[in-house]
Chains A and B, each alone.
Chain A
Amino acid sequence: MDSFTTVLQLFDSTIRLSAPLLLACLAGLYSERAGIFDIGLEGKMLAGAFAAGAVATWFGSAYLALLAAVLVSVALGLVHGFASITHRGNQIVSGVAINFIAAGTTVILGQAWFSQGGRTPSLPNAARFNPINLPGTEAMRGLPIVGPLYYELISGHSVLVYLAFLLVPFTWWVLYRTRFGLRLRAVGENPAAVDTAGISVPWLRYRAVICCGVLCGIAGAYLATAQGAGFVKDMTAGKGYIALAALIFAKWRPVQAMFACLLFGFLDAVGIRMQGHPLPLIGEVPVQFMQALPYILTVVLLAGFIGKAIPPKAGGVAYVKER
């Protein structure tokens, strides 16, 4: 195996690993751009993954599983909305609560329904999102450089991966080129102005929270039915927080969010690959260091050493209409 193929495989797993991050990160983007902080990305993803695993086991359909994941995740998102928009509760407290509820419920229900220690049964390929080969893969495979690049890197992912990356330009378009996007950004910066213009602040924020739920659900479905074959206890393993870190890294912008997620996915892929392989100059890097690197990078960024990350102005603050 030559080094070119190794690098290609590294990038290939980077794409696989960053897809759920990207979905969750874009989910957070809709919510936080509308002024609703969301620590609960992790919990919504986890609940979505469980719903997808359970429904795929019962009905054997990946698309039904996706639908279930989205519904469950949106429901949790609406709980967050109910607490933080309608009742003006603390958004961070509410997000933390959702993470715990999801972490506990998935294990308890998983154990009660499937009796496999909190996991869902292993899914057959028919109930999963399988890799799809793009047209012309075999024909182009013989070409130098372009062929393997197309074959290894671009083709052969599940449909959800392509969806995740297509959502980046789509989100950009929604955010910067549509009326909804303009209002979404405005309500995160200055809700009073939006209100003065006669637009309902709560309804706009609820829509943002629903968008967030949909995307977290897709991310969860990806984990349980595309990347893995079934739900495993605590399978998000902090991905929701890394997505949050990526969002801050990207300063709440869609295209940059993609690059941040690719960076974190790349670190993850390198970390997996480097286990047991010492580096030429440094020696063997502990796995734990590679695992902690995204968090360390985020802290360094937050400290303002790599440019300042300024959150949406009205983020985290409930809007009080009448004064």
Chain B
Amino acid sequence: MSQPFAKLPAWADYGLLPLINLIVAFLVAGLVVLLVGESPIDAAVLMVKGAFGSGDGVGYTLYYATNFIFTGLCVAVAFHCGLFNIGGEGQAYIGGLGVSLVGLWLGNFLPWWLTFPLAILASALVGALWALIPAWLQAKRGSHVVITTIMFNFIAASIMVYVLVGVLKPAGSQAPETRVFAEGGQLPGLGWLLELVGLSMRSAPLNVSFLLALVAAFLVWVLIWRTKLGYEIRTMGFSPKAARYAGISELRIIIITMMISGALAGMMALNPIMGAQHRMQLDFVAGAGFVGIAVALMGRSHPAGIVLAAILFGMLYQGGAEIAFDMPNISRDMIVIIQGLVILFAGALEHMFRPSLQRIFYRLGRAKNRTAAAVIAGGNQ
């Protein structure tokens, strides 16, 4: 216990350690593939091929990644404040209401570049309001945000089923979904972006929300590390006591942080609704809110890391769908396992390898010092 540990260099702390955790998570996932009777290596090859092998593959990968960037940022912003927002799923789901209202109503007579900003505002607002109640309860009444956001996920799911089945479903239709939006409620695709690098995209739903996600990631970086508010958020996350002594209002910071977090989750709804399906369907979030937890943990709550982790999970989603054709025993639920393992190893067990790694670096450092000392001693003789 009391053995001195070397402080890890930054590249090991932010690069090597997450990489080790990730590799272990994938090794365990490989065991599950073996258990199912398939070859993990073949599965990995198929997955990478499916995700990056064609223009459409890349398009789908980035389309899924768009969802995960939003939800990953949502979880990360809350993490910086020491809050665990499990409610991204519900906030994104409810955020769909804002997108659909704009799409159904304004989409009829406005062009997309006018509906888009309005839909961004509407989805962010609805998502933020859905996060406001748990935030207020945490800040004012001390009820744990983890429990309340879980409860709010279920409440959101019930409300959305009610709304889609009872209110927004067009008369005479059986499927629980809205009507298809008019032209103005549909976002343009990003085929030209892929053509720049020589890929052609035919059916993949990659759209301008991807660019919005990148902008959001940059803005979150600015907010967290370059503004006064971000400094206050991080102070609160690091030590609520210190924040209180510094005169930072706990109530204000918790509510603002959770609302930003909810707004980011709400904006995720733009991508599948206005970008891909041009209508709101039942359960369109499809677990992306929860993937955000894994993405944020893997990306170390840094926007750059989150974008990379989101693309990795986008690859898993797209590649996983492709694998299912060749290996019928492996469905997309494999991703849920990988997601769980990443959360376990990169989140809950993130310190498992740290002591041994520190010991190795300590030994290395000592050995280097000794040779350096020997060289100096030898030079003096």
Q: Which residues of A contact B (CB under 8 A)?
A: 39, 79, 82-84, 87-94, 96-105, 107-109, 111-112, 118, 238, 241, 244-245, 248, 286, 288-289, 291-292, 295-296, 298-299, 302-304, 309, 311, 322
User: A88 near B340 (CB under 8 angstroms)?
Assistant: no
11 chain-A/chain-B pairs, Cβ below 8 angstroms: A89-B349, A98-B340, A100-B343, A104-B339, A104-B340, A105-B32, A107-B333, A111-B329, A112-B37, A241-B150, A292-B154
The A interface is mostly helix, strand or loop, or mixed, namely helix
Q: A-B pairs with the 7 shortest C-beta distances? A: A100-B340, A104-B336, A104-B337, A94-B348, A302-B143, A101-B340, A89-B348
- The segment from B157-165, B219-227, B265-273 that touches chain A is B157-165
In the complex, which residues 135-162 of chain B have their Cβ closer than 8 Å to any Cβ of chain A?
Answer: 137, 141-144, 146-148, 150-152, 154-155, 158-159, 161-162
Residues of B in contact (CB 8 Å), total 50
A299 partner, pick from B137, B333, B343, B347, beta carbons under 8 A = B137
Q: Which residue of A lies closest to B137 (CB)?
A: A303
| 8 A Cβ contacts from B307-344 to A | 329-331, 333-341, 343-344
Establish whether residues B344 and A98, one from each chain, have CB atoms under 8 Å apart when the complex forms: yes
A105-B337 contact, Cβ under 8 Å, with A93-B348, A244-B147, A304-B143: yes
* Contact of A109 with B36 at beta-carbon distance under 8 Å, contacts A90-B347, A93-B297, A96-B86 already known: yes
Contact (Cβ within 8 A) A108 B329: yes
Contacts beyond the supplied A296-B155, A309-B143: 5 A-B pairs with Cβ under 8 Å: A91-B348, A101-B340, A107-B331, A245-B147, A295-B154
Q: Is B373 interfacial (CB 8 A cutoff)?
A: no
- Could you say which residues of chain B place their CB within 8 Å of the CB of A94? 344, 347-349
Taking CB atoms, residues of chain A closer than 8 Å to B141 are: 302-304
Please give the residue numbers on chain B whose beta carbons come within 8 Å of chain A beta carbons, in ascending order: 1-2, 32, 35-37, 84, 86, 133, 137, 141-144, 146-148, 150-152, 154-155, 158-159, 161-162, 166, 290, 293, 297, 329-331, 333-341, 343-344, 347-352
Which chain B residue lies CB-closest to A82? B349
Closest CB of chain B to A7's CB: distance in Å? 27
| B166 neighbours in A (Cβ, 8 Å) | 286
| Contacting residue for A295 out of B155, B162, B330, CB 8 A | B155
User: Are A302 and B334 CB-contacts (below 8 A) given A100-B290, A241-B150?
Assistant: no
Report how far A112 CA is from B333 CA in the complex, Å: 12
Task: Report A257 CB to chain B, min CB distance, Å.
Answer: 16
User: Is B158's CB under 8 angstroms from A292's CB?
Assistant: yes
If over half of B's interface residues share one DSSP class (helix, strand or loop), that class is named, otherwise mixed; here it is helix
A96 to B336, CA, bound (A): 11
> Once bound together, how far apart are the Cα atoms of A96 and B335, in whole Å?
15
Q: How far is the CA of A299 from the CA of B141 in the complex (A)?
A: 11
Are B154 and A97 in contact, CB atoms less than 8 angstroms apart? no
The interface residues of chain A lying within 8 Å CB-to-CB of B142 are: 304
Please tell me which one of the listed residues A97, A108, A244, A322 contacts residue B343 in the complex, with CB atoms under 8 A apart. A97
The answer on a CB contact under 8 Å between A108 and B151 is: no
B residues within 8 A CB of A248? 147
Query: Inside 8 A of B338's CB, which chain A residues have their CB?
Result: 104
Give Cα A79 to B337, complex, Å. 15
B297 touches A89 (CB 8 A): no
CB of A101 within 8 A of CB of B158, answer no
| Chain A contacts for B154, CB-based, 8 A | 238, 241, 291-292, 295
Closest to B151 in A: A295
- B32 near A322 with CB under 8 A, answer no
Partner of B344, one of A83, A295, A298, A322: A83
Chain A residues with Cβ below 8 Å from B350 are: 89
Alpha-carbon gap, A244 to B150, bound state (A)? 10
**Closest CB in chain A relative to B161 CB, distance in Å:** 5
Most buried by B among A99, A104, A241: A104
Determine the distance from Cα of A83 to Cα of B351 in the docked complex, in whole angstroms.
Answer: 9
Chain B positions within 8 Å of A286 at CB level? 162, 166
Q: Is B348 in contact with A288, judged by CB distance below 8 angstroms?
A: no
Closest to A245 in B: B151
Which residues on the A side are within 8 Å of B155 (C-beta)? Answer: 292, 295-296, 299
- Does the CB pair B349–A83 fall under 8 Å? yes
Minimal beta-carbon separation of A308 from chain B (angstroms): 8
Kindly list chain A residues whose C-beta atoms are within 8 Å of the C-beta of B152.
295, 299
- Tell me whether B137 and A111 are in contact (CB under 8 A): no
Contact status A108-B344, CB under 8 Å: no
Flag if B344 contacts A101 (CB, 8 Å).
yes
Most buried by A among B36, B137, B155, B159: B155
